[in-house]
Chain A
């Protein structure tokens, strides 16, 4: 227990050093949200010209509606792949080296989850800057943006954890990719990230209700579009509870998977 924090920090440090060293990847995380925002934003302006649609979205600017969705989508597609590093570490023997060292074993998944969370905040920051340049105004200002970052971090932490738990069991990168891809699409599209729940059929509404991503989108959208409200705290607490559960679950799966 004594070394858990320290060990977690150094496991995360290793991942982050590599993250910042990959210039192309960093560039892509910049370009991708830019394309999404300009392309989708322009495509959908026609929609917001219709006053009824604008009413559903809660804003006359689709870009403003969509920005939280893009933030979540980008961090989702990155953090859900953090399990890949465990598969690779296992292949090259790095995992054995870690397990042979006197570190707290929980620090291995937690460190990688922490690194996913930090990468998530960096991406969220980039998207916020791009969105502001494109004319999006955040209702709750700087403080609201900070809360958005915290939520982004928490979501990246959850998805990183799920990905790591899967990777602890699955030993080939190809299988992991297939499963992860199968997961992200429904998580994204069965949420209110890109479209308001009001316009969805009732069966989809039901799925949206149990999708954890929804509880991240809701407060983010309030902070961006409408302003402070008490439901923001409630939603954040739900996400936080999921964080704790995923932490426990991932650690349990990981420790079981590595002890033969």
Chain B
């Protein structure tokens, strides 16, 4: 019980089987999200990310399991959490024949806010997302990035404690994505908001999330800080080449093995040598240099490679992020999203 009261989101043994086609999209998933945390679900299309989000916010009924938001059992008291959660779907759900202000005004009204509150808060959020100047423009004239910003701004109109973002940067170009990331970080830094997002972009999970759950086929395969996940699959790798004869190099390598934090040293092909660091490969490089100087070794090249979330993903799912086959409806929806964004 104490855990439930102290966590923003607690999900216990969540299962979701779609009654229409019998597909088990979420299989016995449990996790919790701390207050003020950016928590991410990383996985390919059709992994069960959106289903999980939609079940937590009450758009879908779980087949089994318990969900607590802000300490409240959402299945027993759905009305008590209505104002706690904000949701931005992956589709940029804006009415493009209305202006930005009309969209946000209606959203406020659907949350039963008074006109004064809507006026005050919409100015606040629109300014925060850099859209105040364009509030009177029809959404038709908005770019994909602006639409996404407005979509997130709208989700904040009722001041939710917990924000759910389903694929916040789907289909956006890299600069726009970075700008959306900055807005998301700002929300957490300035307002201490708890954010739960899903993504199938590895860089996004790495850049934004305090903790990441890797999800595939409706199951969580791994869940931890991105850094920990990366170090679990092996330390940093340093590759080197030298300008000395073999015997001298070998003696040097023996010396290197005794340096702290060096896990192993191996000879690769073409006189390339590799060193696997226990941790902090970047701090190991100066040490390598100082040993080399003492031994009279000249280093011709040295390179540090850190494992990426990509490698982690590969390790856990046995595949790179792939385009999984979603339902036809989902695919059609995604096409519409892409068309709207790329316009």
Please determine whether A94 and B95 come into contact, CB atoms closer than 8 angstroms. yes
CB of B219 within 8 Å of the partner chain: no
Q: A60 to chain B: closest CB distance in Å?
A: 46
List chain A residues, Cβ under 8 A from B93.
92-94, 96-97
A/B interface sample: 30 pairs, CB < 8 A: A3-B112, A6-B112, A10-B109, A10-B110, A14-B98, A17-B102, A21-B97, A22-B97, A91-B332, A91-B336, A92-B92, A92-B94, A92-B340, A93-B91, A93-B333, A93-B337, A94-B93, A94-B95, A96-B59, A96-B91, A97-B87, A97-B154, A101-B82, A101-B107, A101-B111, A102-B82, A102-B110, A102-B111, A102-B112, A260-B19
A81-137 interface (Cβ within 8 A of B): 91-94, 96-103
Please determine whether A260 and B110 come into contact, CB atoms closer than 8 angstroms. no
Q: Which residue of B lies closest to A260 (CB)?
A: B60
Chain A interface (Cβ < 8 Å from any Cβ of B): 3, 6-7, 10, 13-14, 17-18, 21-22, 91-94, 96-103, 171, 259-260
CA distance A260 to B93 in the complex (A): 20
Please determine whether A100 and B95 come into contact, CB atoms closer than 8 angstroms. no
List chain A residues, Cβ under 8 A from B58.
100
Q: Which residue of A lies closest to B78 (CB)?
A: A102
Mark B57-77 against chain A: 1 for CB-CB distance below 8 A, else 0: 111110000000000000000
Please determine whether B89 and A96 come into contact, CB atoms closer than 8 angstroms. yes
List chain A residues, Cβ under 8 A from B61.
259-260
Mark B135-154 against chain A: 1 for CB-CB distance below 8 A, else 0: 00000000000000000001
CA distance A97 to B152 in the complex (A): 12
Please determine whether B20 and A260 come into contact, CB atoms closer than 8 angstroms. yes
CA distance A112 to B102 in the complex (A): 17
Please determine whether B18 and A260 come into contact, CB atoms closer than 8 angstroms. yes
Mark B87-126 against chain A: 1 for CB-CB distance below 8 A, else 0: 1011111110110001000110111100000000000000
List chain A residues, Cβ under 8 A from B332.
91
CB of B83 within 8 Å of the partner chain: yes
Q: A9 to chain B: closest CB distance in Å?
A: 9
Number of CB contacts from chain A to chain B under 8 A: 78
CA distance A103 to B333 in the complex (A): 24
Q: B103 to chain A: closest CB distance in Å?
A: 9
CA distance A94 to B91 in the complex (A): 8
CB of B258 within 8 Å of the partner chain: no
Bin chain B's interface residue count. 35 or more
CA distance A99 to B58 in the complex (A): 9
CA distance A97 to B151 in the complex (A): 10
Q: B136 to chain A: closest CB distance in Å?
A: 13
CB of B79 within 8 Å of the partner chain: yes
The 7 closest A-B pairs by CB, nearest first: A93-B91, A93-B93, A102-B82, A101-B110, A93-B89, A97-B93, A10-B109
11 additional A-B residue pairs with CB within 8 Å, beyond A91-B336, A102-B79, A102-B83:
A13-B106, A17-B102, A21-B97, A92-B95, A92-B336, A92-B340, A94-B93, A101-B82, A101-B107, A102-B82, A103-B110
CB of B300 within 8 Å of the partner chain: no
Please determine whether B92 and A93 come into contact, CB atoms closer than 8 angstroms. yes
CA distance A14 to B96 in the complex (A): 11
Please determine whether B107 and A100 come into contact, CB atoms closer than 8 angstroms. no
Max chain B C-beta neighbours (<10 A), residue from A14, A92, A96, A97? A97
List chain A residues, Cβ under 8 A from B87.
96-97, 100
List chain A residues, Cβ under 8 A from B59.
96, 99-100
Q: Which residue of B lies closest to A94 (CB)?
A: B93
Q: Which residue of A lies closest to B328 (CB)?
A: A171
Q: B22 to chain A: closest CB distance in Å?
A: 12
List chain B residues, Cβ under 8 A from A96.
54, 59, 87, 89, 91, 93
List chain B residues, Cβ under 8 A from A103.
110, 112
List chain B residues, Cβ under 8 A from A18.
95, 97-98
CA distance A226 to B109 in the complex (A): 47
CB of B133 within 8 Å of the partner chain: no
CA distance A101 to B54 in the complex (A): 13
CB of B329 within 8 Å of the partner chain: yes
Contact of B107 among A3, A6, A92, A97 (CB under 8 A): A97
CA distance A92 to B109 in the complex (A): 20
Q: A251 to chain B: closest CB distance in Å?
A: 18
Please determine whether A98 and B110 come into contact, CB atoms closer than 8 angstroms. yes
CA distance A102 to B74 in the complex (A): 13
List chain B residues, Cβ under 8 A from A17.
98, 102
Q: Which residue of A lies closest to B89 (CB)?
A: A93
List chain B residues, Cβ under 8 A from A13.
106
CA distance A77 to B154 in the complex (A): 35
List chain A residues, Cβ under 8 A from B109.
6, 10
Please determine whether B111 and A10 come into contact, CB atoms closer than 8 angstroms. no
